[in-house]
Structure 1
Amino acid sequence: MLNYIVDIALRYKVLVLVAFVLVIVFGVKAWREVPVDAFPDVTPVQVNIYTSSPGIAAEDVEKLLTFPVETAVAGLPGIEQIRSVSMFGLSSVSVYFKDNVDIYFARRLVSEKLLEAKARIPEGYGEPVLGPNSSGLGQVFWYTVESADKKLTQMDLRTLQDWTIRLVLRTASGLDDVTSWGGQEKQYQVLINPQKLIKYGLTFKAVMESLHLNNRQVGGQYVNLGQEQYLVRGMGLVANAQEIGSIVITEKGGTPIYVRDVAEVKEAPALRTGAITKNGEEVVLGIALQRIGENAKNVVDAVKEKLKTVQQALPAGVTINTAYDRTELVEKAIKTAENALVEGSILVAIILYLFLGEIRSAIVVILALPLAMLMSFILMQQWGLSANLMSLAGLAVGIGMMVDGAVVLVENSFRLLSHKVGQVVNQTHVILEAAREVINPTAFAILIIIVVFLPLFALTGLEGKLFKPMALTITFAMVGSLILTLTLVPVLAALILRPKEEKDTFVVRWAKKLYLPLLDWALENKRKVIGGALVLLVATIAIFPFLGKEFMPTLQEGGIMFRVTSIPSTSLEESIRISQQIEARLKQFPQTKSAIAMIGRPEIGETADVNYMEILVDLKPHDQWPEAISFPALTHEMQESLEKVVPTAVFAATQPIQMRVEELISGVRATLALKLYGEDLTELDRQSSEIKAVLQKVTGVSDLALEANKGKPQMVIKVNRESAARFGINADDILEVVQAGIGGKAVSTLIDGVKRFDIQVWLAPEFRNSVEAINNIPIRTQSGALVPLSRVATVELDEGYSFVRREQLQRYAVIQMDVKGRDVDGFVKEAAAKIK
């Protein structure tokens, strides 16, 4: 069969050449169009569900929001795992499907269950929504919005980001969404003075109802006036703070009581769950999220083009600056892989010439190498593989193997032709004879190489997504090599090679001089050779268990990410102050280009409290570093310095992509995580603290932290039902004051063109910013009398939890850590032994 293929190729040389010209055309096209990324996307098929309910504590979020969503989606087909995080004001549920489930089918299944989940959530506690259709590695571009002349406030910048920049960017090809983070979100606040409510005999609820009912716009169909038709519009939307204040609540003796009579109305920033600082100053951050399956480089290029357009529409002095650009890493990674391919090809060419000693033979073999690569790119494009470090590494590994078949066939062809020097020969016939002699063992050798990589195709999950691209590209390259060996190489040999006396090159003569005596000795001492090989095999097997083991090596991404965790009671303002201290210290390192801190979380999406921050250190190019220092050494030096600046915080060094991959593996942003399952949060806290103390003594442990430990300050206002009943007060009346008066409640929306701003009702700050003031909040009874809150409820200071994590509908606590100075596998085994 194989001989027949070679025979056909040699009969139809022109067709073979035309076919491979087409391979070159389509191969170059595929090389230009194949998706490009730094790293294979190892994200599982994952659908995120977010339910926002501002002001609700983590334990209540779990009970009221997370559990209904989990139980609604738990029975869906194809689910492998459900993870959730309940925290202050936000429920995040991640549903993981099997790898063979289409992401859009998975999203549709989950979407259908959201109505069921919504029905199980108490009214007024938020609605579950699907997260962006982006992978765990989808954050491809970050930018900051800054005011160079400081004329615009953080609220102005955030408004520009939300309602101008973000809307334009969302039209970029391949982009799924843009997350806004930092700055101050604008809202219209109605700050009620309870003493004035008493003066006018009004209730908190009456103010809220007036605001809700007096900010509307309706349609009245149309009327015919003569021969013309007029549409009817009822215009009642408020346009500014002054109009909000002019809303009438009621009237007393013919005199209207306006909102402004009982409250101060103003534009002000909403309560924040996070902030962004850059080089010590607050800024607004935008994060571009790439849609699943898109080309990272193309998406970033599209975002940059949109930013050029939107920059022209921004006010003078406002600039958009790049904070993180995945394409920098992509280009660096691809450049590294391309250099390896080019350098490998050059080395192969040199070695071939040195051993074959004949330029025509070397040319035939070298021509096969780029063609095999181009055939690989065609197959990569058809299989949907991206060009990344792992896939291109497969080509780099296979460079030498790609030309094995061509070398054997060309060398044998040259040998037979050398026997025909001075004779009139049918060159095609000689090449066919040469191919028949070696084609079967050559093809079998190539197939054996392909078979060696077949076990990698059996890998599933994260391992499969990581290593399959490499196995596939090597397989594609070897299949291309086999096709070339059977078709193009014999044709080129017939056209290019000429009969010439065969002579050993000096390299071959030198190799024979060393090898032949060694071969003779080996043949004469068979038992010694076999015995020595067996000893070496046994020694290798014996040493293997003592080798350190890690899942994957660390990729130097060009920047350092520090995870910083302060004590749970840390406020946002204190975290901002800490971030400014850290950034000031980082700027003292000459290798630092800039530092940006992401504190807490945006309004929806991330799951971090305000005591947690991630600081991205953008480094200068290595050739601009003033002193020779390795990347790990610089990271260690920076971390040691930062630990002295903020000794109460826990620091952990990582990198952006590395951190996301770690989070995908365990659900925790750390190299290693120990999970302790149980229903009692107090018991989980106690046992995890004990385990942490044990782990502290294991050699190599670093950045050890107990994430879900108790310590989040809480003010608990508990209704005294008996006391409330004596005054004829319902629990709902008391809780309404707690929710809206102390926490603030959005009762309507001010619409300004495409912009939307909440109208938020609150008690004025002096009536809610201390325990004493809260105890004195007046509650109106059904008879119209007033009693202080302390008469119908107790106000206590307590501690709660920052997070409640769940996996497969079970609570768990997390102990996270890194390992330094030893291998991960050895550390895990020692830690497990000590914990038991």
Structure 2
Amino acid sequence: MLLARASIERKITFSMLYLIVVGFGLFSLTQLKIDLFPDIQFPVIGIITFYEGVGPADIEKLVTRPLEESVAATKHVKKVNSTSSQGSSIILLQFDWGTDIDQAEMDVRKRIDLVRDLLPEEASEPLVFPFDPSLQPIMFLGLSSSSLGPAELRKLADERLEAMLERVDGVASAVTQGGLERQINVKLNPLQLAAFQLSPLDVVGALQREASLQPAGRIETHSQNLSLRILSEYYSLDDIQSVVVKYVKGVPVYLKDVAEIEDGFKERFGDARTNFNPGVVIQVNKQSDANTVLTCRRVRQTLSDIEAILPEGTSLGIVFDASEFIMRSIYNLRNSALQAFLMSFLVLLLFLANFRGSLIMAVSIPVAILATFPVMHLAHLTLNIVTMAGLALAVGMLVDNAIVVLENIYRYHESGTPLSQAADVATSEVGLAITASTLTTISVFVPVLFVPGIAGELFSDMVVVMCFSLGASLLIALTLIPLLSHQFLKIRPEGAASRWSRRIREAQAHLSGKYLRILHWCLGHRKKTLLIAGLLLVISIALTATLGGEFLPRTDQNLIIVRVDREIGTPLEETEKTVLDLENIVREEVPELENLYVLFGAGEGITAIFTGTASYTIFLRIRLSPMEERKRSQFEIQDALRKRLQEVPGIRFEFIEPTGFTTERPIEVKLLGPNLLQNRQLAEQIKASLEKIPGLVDVSLNVRESTPELQIIPERERLNDFKLSVSQVAHIISTAFQGKVAALYREGADEYNIFVQLDRRFRRQKEAIANLLIPTPAGKLIPLGQLAQIREEAGPASIYRENQQRMISVGCNLSGIDLSSAVAKIRQVLQETPIPSDVQVLIGGTAQDQQEAFYYLRIAFIAAVLLVYMVMASQFESLVDPFIIFFTIPLAFIGVGFMLFLTQTPLSVMSLVGIVMLVGIVVNNGIVLVDYTNQLRRRGMPLHQAVVEAARIRMRPVLMTALTTILAMVPLALELGAGSENWSAMARSVIGGMTTSTLLTLVIVPVLYTIVEELESRIVKSWRRWRSG
């Protein structure tokens, strides 16, 4: 082969080329970003709109539906989900995978602009944002103090610490939760307002007028020009108290006459606790393109600067650091790759009994990996658990081509051929075979690149890494291996070999003899041989059918997230009492606890998507010690917590998987239809049935019991009599009970809101609503009770919609049951449940993702088989020979079934990708056998002799390549470290498939080759007789 001869003749040139590759590889490695997962662009856009003080039904009618109807017409929208809750509307648009999300975001904004004028004026501007896992904080920092109170801690975090953290390279924002925020509260007394014939709007208007900035012009003196500036802002509480709200017969009515002015705090709607103590928590969010590990490292470095400015007795500690699990996962995969490299080297040494030869082959692995890093850098790939897994999985395969080449060189030189000639001839002899083998392996990965959905996005980076590393290994086998063999390989004569080498050769000769006896028997009993293989395949398929299935393996991330809900309408103070009870449970049940962060009450801004906007909601983030330091897994601890939480009255809870890939639960039975009451009753019936299925846990409805509300129904005729509008009345009610920022209070460089609202003791009285005075244009004040009906009713806590239909779902988590089995049992329940004709029932959640992924991976498997056939047909210039080799694929399925059954590993996306990989890997041994058999036939050797001789000669490289691939997968299959659960199913599939395929290929391929050749010979002879006759 020209490449081999060129590398031997121009060894300096090729040596320099490989040094350049190694140099660029090392440089590129230092430039790669480190993250947990690939940079996946999720095709989801969120729209969040706030309309404070408005109930879910009105939010749905006034905000959600107009927005839904408009944005649903955006191109490539696959699904529209919305949640209308108290004071907020959240819409999630799911687009087809592969959609340009930046363009989609622009299109969504345009669609919103079309209906913006139809939304209430008081509603906030709809916030549009692409859904991104980077929205989740990368760090939580807990601020506590023995000398500062909650207000001082909050001020310290808001004014100093946030700014210092946001200056860190890679940090997008730092958001403070918990503590108290200073605010000037104007607490209105409705009795005093009534006495002076005033309304809350009068107070707001007076504060705004007194604080308004008016242009005052300029004054010119003989020496200079001066601007006139009126300082009308509020600088003291006396300034506020002295504001004149109204004159009664020439006597001023001051603000202090109708309200209490307090230098206080914002009313709490949510709070945070860390490690069983009240405190302030700072959430650190990274920029979307920032390196998570480097950003967390820089934040840690900044903490030392922050500690220097903190008051005595105050500390800032790390509650959660996302980079810790990332680095543990990366280190685990790195160690797996190193272990795979070591085992591959030992296999080579064992078979060749030649240290130099083994070292030459071992060099090919790091060089091929280093050659991949520049490609990763140019393709903007990150160093994450997916790309690292690709490299770890590839380690055993990278040496395959080198093994075939070097073993052939070794054999030629051992038989007396000069080393320079052996390196050239031996490489040329197997060059086409290993090229075809590499192309078949690469070709099976190509269809995976076209798999849509999260599975395709996850594996695309791994596929790119494996394809380029395998391509590099082929060039190394054709150039670097002959070059190094020519320069360094030495083989001792039989008499000069060491005792260890002689023993290895004797063992190999003994193994070869045993193998040839088995092969001769199989060739003499071809029907029995094929029957045994077929029987094993049937048994394997039967075993696989018992395994069940899942989407992606559950990973122990040292983190448990629990959402707990109290009864709807529970005030924040009562919710906080429940938090203390939950903390006691965690303290008792989780000795493995490392950190605890609790957020309860309403979230703010985008955070509301993850935490909700209700005072009765609690989120616990339970950080566990590293997996290697615990006896119990994360999931065993979850089960223990679940038992204790079930004993707490008045709550419902669910455990949330911290993957960030979906906001849905493993299984969600969705009921879509117009009649909420009917859907609710049906959902309760289904829920009761699901709770009886073992393994389904945390079964609950997405809707809660109705929330109590006071409904104000305006009497329009009365309003018309007083020349009032509904919006005017609503504005007054909103100001009185929800409150309004009227102006700003300035203290030095700081500004604080002046907040006008009824005193809390009056807001707790229902009759205060009926007694609220409404001013008329004629100057009269009319009690609200005379202008509207006021009644207490129950309304929905939240209204969920999917694709513009009201939706109620029954969701559950799984414990001790696989996803496929659970879905099968749920389908059986649904078949036995009467479903009204106007109700559509869907099974969603992760189960739907699994179904889609399995469907597309089956298509990818078929495409991989076709591509492999095309490559082999091109190599052999035959349409028949590839069919012989194709029988190695079902031989691999035998091992897959037995391995997954013995390890009780359910079928998942990972195991299916492993099966797709096997299509390209297992045929390689068949290619080597058939290719050499054809070469011997072309040299004139008889059929049976050629088959046996090819099998004898190729047995050693076949076993070597198989063992290196199998042993390289063992560290991943054993789940020895953090994040290894992700890859164990794939590794086990490959190990099982390679084991049976290799052992059976050595006998089945020769048997099939002889059958096909004899059959072809008979057909040719019959054709010739027919033509001549």
- What TM-score comes out, normalization by structure 1 length? 0.91
- 2:144 touches 2:316 (CA, 8 Å); kept in 1? no
Counterpart-to-counterpart distance in 1, 2:225 and 2:99:
54
Equivalent positions of 1:275-314 (< 5 A) are 275-314=271-310
* Secondary structure of the corresponding residue to residue 590 of structure 1: coil
Q: Which residue of structure 2 aligns with residue 411 of structure 1?
A: 407
Equivalent positions of 1:712-723 (< 5 A) are 712-723=707-718
Counterpart-to-counterpart distance in 2, 1:86 and 1:753:
41
**Of 677, 700, 712, which residue of structure 2 is paired with 1:705?**
700
Counterpart-to-counterpart distance in 1, 2:236 and 2:822:
62
Write out per-residue CA displacement over residues 261-295 of structure 1, whole angstroms, 9 at most, x where no aligned residue: 22112233334443222233332222222333332
**Of 429, 441, 449, which residue of structure 2 is paired with 1:449?**
441
Alignment pair present for 1:766 and 2:766: no
How much has 1:311 moved relative to structure 2? 4.1
Identify if the C-alpha distance between structure 1 residues 87 and 178 changes in structure 2 by more than 3 Å, giving closer, same or farther.
farther
Identify if the C-alpha distance between structure 1 residues 403 and 656 changes in structure 2 by more than 3 Å, giving closer, same or farther.
same
* Secondary structure of the corresponding residue to residue 570 of structure 1: coil
Counterpart-to-counterpart distance in 2, 1:92 and 1:208:
31
Q: Which residue of structure 2 aligns with residue 643 of structure 1?
A: 646
Alignment pair present for 1:536 and 2:541: no
Identify if the C-alpha distance between structure 1 residues 729 and 134 changes in structure 2 by more than 3 Å, giving closer, same or farther.
closer
Equivalent positions of 1:597-636 (< 5 A) are 597-605=598-606, 606-607=608-609, 608=612, 609-622=614-627, 625=630, 628-636=631-639
Q: Which residue of structure 2 aligns with residue 495 of structure 1?
A: 487
Alignment pair present for 1:791 and 2:783: no
Counterpart-to-counterpart distance in 2, 1:103 and 1:187:
40
Q: Which residue of structure 1 aligns with residue 810 of structure 2?
A: 815
Q: Which residue of structure 2 aligns with residue 524 of structure 1?
A: 524
- 1:571 touches 1:610 (CA, 8 Å); kept in 2? yes
How much has 1:371 moved relative to structure 2? 1.0
Alignment pair present for 1:247 and 2:265: no
How much has 1:499 moved relative to structure 2? 5.0
More moved, 509-518 vs 735-744:
509-518
How much has 1:347 moved relative to structure 2? 0.5
Instruction: Structure 1: state its 5+ residue gaps.
Output: none
Alignment pair present for 1:343 and 2:339: yes
Counterpart-to-counterpart distance in 1, 2:819 and 2:213:
63
Alignment pair present for 1:384 and 2:380: yes
Identify if the C-alpha distance between structure 1 residues 393 and 145 changes in structure 2 by more than 3 Å, giving closer, same or farther.
closer
Counterpart-to-counterpart distance in 2, 1:763 and 1:473:
64
Write out per-residue CA displacement over residues 699-752 of structure 1, whole angstroms, 9 at most, x where no aligned residue: 321100112134222222222334445566543443233211122122334456
Counterpart-to-counterpart distance in 2, 1:507 and 1:216:
98
Q: Which residue of structure 2 aligns with residue 148 of structure 1?
A: 145
Q: Which residue of structure 2 aligns with residue 578 of structure 1?
A: 578
Aligned partner letter, 1:429: Q
Instruction: Structure 2: state its 5+ residue gaps.
Output: 495-501, 832-1029
Alignment pair present for 1:362 and 2:358: yes
Aligned partner letter, 1:45: P
**Of 668, 672, 684, which residue of structure 1 is paired with 2:667?**
672
Identify if the C-alpha distance between structure 1 residues 184 and 120 changes in structure 2 by more than 3 Å, giving closer, same or farther.
farther
Equivalent positions of 1:153-192 (< 5 A) are 153=150, 155-192=151-188
* Secondary structure of the corresponding residue to residue 69 of structure 1: helix
- 1:550 touches 1:823 (CA, 8 Å); kept in 2? yes
Counterpart-to-counterpart distance in 2, 1:240 and 1:514:
99
Aligned partner letter, 2:252: P
Counterpart-to-counterpart distance in 2, 1:111 and 1:431:
65
- 1:766 touches 1:773 (CA, 8 Å); kept in 2? no
Q: Which residue of structure 2 aligns with residue 483 of structure 1?
A: 475
Equivalent residues, number: 818
**Of 255, 258, 265, which residue of structure 2 is paired with 1:269?**
265
Q: Which residue of structure 2 aligns with residue 469 of structure 1?
A: 461
Aligned partner letter, 1:712: T
**Of 4, 7, 10, which residue of structure 2 is paired with 1:6?**
4
* Secondary structure of the corresponding residue to residue 679 of structure 1: coil
* Secondary structure of the corresponding residue to residue 351 of structure 1: helix
Identify if the C-alpha distance between structure 1 residues 102 and 249 changes in structure 2 by more than 3 Å, giving closer, same or farther.
same
How much has 1:556 moved relative to structure 2? 0.7
Aligned partner letter, 1:92: I
- 1:394 touches 1:471 (CA, 8 Å); kept in 2? yes
- 1:557 touches 1:655 (CA, 8 Å); kept in 2? no
Counterpart-to-counterpart distance in 2, 1:23 and 1:239:
68
**Of 313, 317, 325, which residue of structure 1 is paired with 2:321?**
325
Equivalent positions of 1:547-562 (< 5 A) are 547-562=547-562
* Secondary structure of the corresponding residue to residue 556 of structure 1: coil
Aligned partner letter, 1:25: G
Identify if the C-alpha distance between structure 1 residues 754 and 38 changes in structure 2 by more than 3 Å, giving closer, same or farther.
farther
* Secondary structure of the corresponding residue to residue 583 of structure 2: helix
Aligned partner letter, 1:27: G
Q: Which residue of structure 2 aligns with residue 238 of structure 1?
A: 234
* Secondary structure of the corresponding residue to residue 136 of structure 2: strand
Aligned partner letter, 1:481: S
Identify if the C-alpha distance between structure 1 residues 327 and 826 changes in structure 2 by more than 3 Å, giving closer, same or farther.
same
- What TM-score comes out, normalization by structure 2 length? 0.75
- 2:599 touches 2:620 (CA, 8 Å); kept in 1? yes
Identify if the C-alpha distance between structure 1 residues 239 and 22 changes in structure 2 by more than 3 Å, giving closer, same or farther.
farther
Q: Which residue of structure 2 aligns with residue 595 of structure 1?
A: 596
Counterpart-to-counterpart distance in 2, 1:303 and 1:727:
61
Counterpart-to-counterpart distance in 2, 1:490 and 1:732:
86
- 1:85 touches 1:93 (CA, 8 Å); kept in 2? yes
Identify if the C-alpha distance between structure 1 residues 96 and 368 changes in structure 2 by more than 3 Å, giving closer, same or farther.
same
Identify if the C-alpha distance between structure 1 residues 810 and 227 changes in structure 2 by more than 3 Å, giving closer, same or farther.
farther
The structure in which a higher percent of residues are strand is: 1
How much has 1:346 moved relative to structure 2? 0.4
How much has 1:818 moved relative to structure 2? 0.8
**Of 63, 66, 72, which residue of structure 1 is paired with 2:64?**
66
Alignment pair present for 1:395 and 2:391: yes
* Secondary structure of the corresponding residue to residue 74 of structure 2: coil
Q: Which residue of structure 1 aligns with residue 136 of structure 2?
A: 139
Counterpart-to-counterpart distance in 1, 2:26 and 2:96:
35
How much has 1:328 moved relative to structure 2? 0.7
How much has 1:554 moved relative to structure 2? 0.9
Aligned partner letter, 1:392: M
- 1:90 touches 1:604 (CA, 8 Å); kept in 2? no
Identity of aligned residues (%): 25
Aligned partner letter, 2:62: L
Counterpart-to-counterpart distance in 2, 1:226 and 1:688:
85
Identify if the C-alpha distance between structure 1 residues 12 and 237 changes in structure 2 by more than 3 Å, giving closer, same or farther.
farther
Q: Which residue of structure 2 aligns with residue 34 of structure 1?
A: 32
- 1:583 touches 1:596 (CA, 8 Å); kept in 2? no
More moved, 714-723 vs 310-319:
310-319
Q: Which residue of structure 2 aligns with residue 695 of structure 1?
A: 690
- 2:134 touches 2:288 (CA, 8 Å); kept in 1? no
Alignment pair present for 1:433 and 2:437: no
- 1:278 touches 1:583 (CA, 8 Å); kept in 2? no
- 1:354 touches 1:507 (CA, 8 Å); kept in 2? no
How much has 1:619 moved relative to structure 2? 1.7
Q: Which residue of structure 1 aligns with residue 654 of structure 2?
A: 652
More moved, 403-412 vs 477-486:
477-486
How much has 1:87 moved relative to structure 2? 1.3
Identify if the C-alpha distance between structure 1 residues 104 and 632 changes in structure 2 by more than 3 Å, giving closer, same or farther.
same
Counterpart-to-counterpart distance in 2, 1:765 and 1:290:
39
Counterpart-to-counterpart distance in 1, 2:446 and 2:707:
52
How much has 1:513 moved relative to structure 2? 5.1
Identify if the C-alpha distance between structure 1 residues 763 and 275 changes in structure 2 by more than 3 Å, giving closer, same or farther.
same
